[in-house]
Amino acid sequence: MSTKTAILIFANSAEFEATQKPFQASVQLFDALNAHTLNIVAKTGLPYFLSSEKNQIGNSFGERFTNAIQSIYDKGFENVITIGNDTPHLQSRHILKAVDNLKQNEIVLGPSKDGGFYLMGLKKSHFNTNTFLKLPWQTSALRRSISKVIISKNINLCYLEVLSDIDTVSDVNLILDSFKTISRAVQKLLQGYISVEKEILTYAFISIDLYIQNLLFNKGSPLLLHN
């Protein structure tokens, strides 16, 4: 096989993501994020494979992720670049840089601000399923744990720039406030989400204020009945 590297998009459908991250209009948001991810992957010219809830195998995230990576190696590839669908600032250049860095390193990580990573480049020779299954997946300790394993085994590691993924409202604000490139479709949906959140908060504050005023009014009204 002339191409030794393949991209693994480990990302669920928009409908499934909406159940895990229930943002306002989350189905539309993750539809746009999935489209963005496929677009930047196609621009790299590398072969890619999509692993979603429809074809993943395993009972835990760690099992599903490990099995998905192994399936790419089983196809004959020597290197795998794994990415998700929740990092709006991810671009083709990040993936291509990871491919280039794998020439001199065994592992390439694109760290995310929550302690995990948005990209992992890994050579087949350094993929150990037992080690992968023991990692604290989907926690803030993930990147630290991976770094410890790498140091203990004297493996060459390279980091890409830090990017933000979408898990909370504060993540959305960070992404919108950043000067990094983002697709117009995703930007519009995120701005709409923030607008809806602000409306909900404003309505909540107004409701609380009216409730307090009503309590104060009712507190004094019985005295009027005795006059």
Structure tokens at 67: 């099995």
Q: What is the pLDDT of residue 189?
A: 66
State yes or no: pLDDT of 101 exceeds 90.
yes
C-alpha span between 183 and 33 (Å, rounded): 9
Identify whether the C-beta of residue 66 lies closer than 8 Å to the C-beta of residue 132.
yes
* Higher pLDDT among residues 57 and 31, named by residue: 57
Q: What is the pLDDT of residue 105?
A: 94
pLDDT tens figures, 176-214: 566 566 777 676 766 666 554 444 334 344 445 444 555
State yes or no: pLDDT of 226 exceeds 50.
no
Name 199's bridge partners. Answer: none
Residues in the chain: 227
Kindly list the domain boundaries of the chain, sorted by start residue: 5-165
C-alpha span between 54 and 45 (Å, rounded): 25
pLDDT tens figures, 106-155: 999 999 887 789 999 999 998 999 999 999 988 888 888 888 888 888 88
| pTM score | 0.76
CATH topology of domain 5-165: Spore Coat Polysaccharide Biosynthesis Protein SpsA; Chain A (3.90.550)
DSSP the chain: ----EEEEEE---HHHHHHHS--TTHHHHHHHHHHHHHHHHHHHT--EEEE-TTT---SSHHHHHHHHHHHHHHTT-SEEEEE-S--TT--HHHHHHHHHHTTT-SEEEEEBTTSSEEEEEEEGGG--HHHHHHS-TTSTTHHHHHHHHHHHTT--EEE---B---SSHHHHHHHHHS-S---HHHHHHHHHHHHHHHHHHHHHHHHHHHHHHHHHHHHHHHHHHT-
Q: What is the pLDDT of residue 29?
A: 76
Range with the poorest average pLDDT among 51-60, 78-87, 167-176, 199-208: 199-208
Q: What is the pLDDT of residue 133?
A: 92
Identify whether the C-beta of residue 166 lies closer than 8 Å to the C-beta of residue 172.
yes
- Among residues 124, 126, 181, 184, the alpha carbon closest in space to that of 154 is found at 126
